[in-house]
Amino acid sequence: MDLTFIYDSFVRLLGGVPLTLQLAFSSIGIGLVAAILLALMMRAWFRPIAWVAESFVFVFRGTPLLVQIFLIYYGLGQFRPVLDEMGIWWFFRSPYYCALLALTLNTAAYGAEIVRGGLQSIPAGQIEAARAFGMSGLTLYRRIVAPIALRQALPAYGNEIILMIKATSLVSTITLMEVTGLAHKIISETFRSFEVFFAAGAIYLIINFAMTRLIGFAEYKIAPDLDRANRPAEVH
């Protein structure tokens, strides 16, 4: 085990961290908006709208992300003339945008199920009480539904964020040089997989550890009264 080499690899791999984080956060951000829309669509009174959202979620949750990435990046290349004519070929030509699109659609599908679960968890009595107070429409959503659903959904959404950070590693298969892509490059140059693995693994563990703490802090912030884990231990 060569410590200087691990350190050198670690420093080189840090160059991939911005791309990893950028992909993870952009896809999670856009994906969350899409997830909320999908969850609302699934509750639509007009069933065909719900079917569209349900089929989307079914397909994206039922297939590997890697296949989705390949389908978008390589698969859509088959329709290049059409995409060229529509003026959107620049988007599908770029591995970055294709990766971002695949990650966003994927996390939107998983997120939709989490948001749906959060919305379902709201006790009917709370909504009835709010209506009795004269709230309706947006006010009801803003004051009652959203806060309760957020509390309910945040732990599961935290898991999804960690999964997405790990999932960004797959974009290295379409030539993007984020942390895993760089790790693969260093391994192929030096054939020293153990050292590179330690360095890359450490980077992901640090990122995910920080994210876990941040999510835990957010959970505490939005529901301090419900928090049990951070209370001082009871004295027996």
Partner 1 sequence: MQAKSFFELMQWGPQGWLDEMVFATGLTLAVAIVGFLFGLLFGTVAATAKLSGSGLARRVADVYTTVLRGIPDLLVIYLFYFGGSAVVTSIGQMMGAQGFIGLPGFLVGTLAIGIVSGAYQTEVIRGAYLAIPPGEIDAARAFGLSGLALLRRIVGPQVMRYGLPGMGNIWQLVLKESALVAVVGLSITLSEIRLADLVVFFETRFSDLLRQAHVAAGSTRQPFVFYITAVAFYLVLTTASTWIFRRAETWATRGMRRV
Binder among 173, 216, 218, 223 for partner 1 (CB under 8 A):
173
Q: Which stretch binds partner 1 (CB under 8 A): 97-105, 133-141, 145-153, 184-192?
A: 184-192
Per-position x/- string for 32-71, each x denoting binding to partner 1 as judged by CB under 8 A, each - no binding: --------------------------xx--xxxxxxx-xx
Neighbours of 163 (CB within 10 A): 15
- Tell me how far, at minimum, the Cβ of 50 lies from partner 1, in Å: 19
3-state secondary structure 35-86: HHHHHHHHCCCCHHHHHHHHHHHHHHHHCCHHHHHHHHHCHHHHHHHHHHHH
Residue type, 99: A
Whole-angstrom Cα distance, residue 190 to residue 161?
32
Alpha helices in 141-192 (DSSP H): 146-167, 179-190
Contact 7, 147 (CB under 8 A): no
Residues 191-230 close enough to bind partner 1 by CB under 8 A? 191-194, 197, 200-201, 204-205, 208-209
| Segment near partner 1 (CB under 8 A); pick from 45-53, 110-118, 125-133, 188-196 | 188-196
Rounded to whole angstroms, the Cα distance separating 128 from 131 reads 5
Does position 81 interact with partner 1 (CB under 8 A)? The reply is no
Counting contacts by CB under 8 A, is residue 105 touching partner 1? no
| Residues making contact with partner 1 (CB under 8 A) | 58-59, 62-68, 70-71, 74-79, 162, 166-170, 172-173, 180, 183-184, 187, 191-194, 197, 200-201, 204-205, 208-209
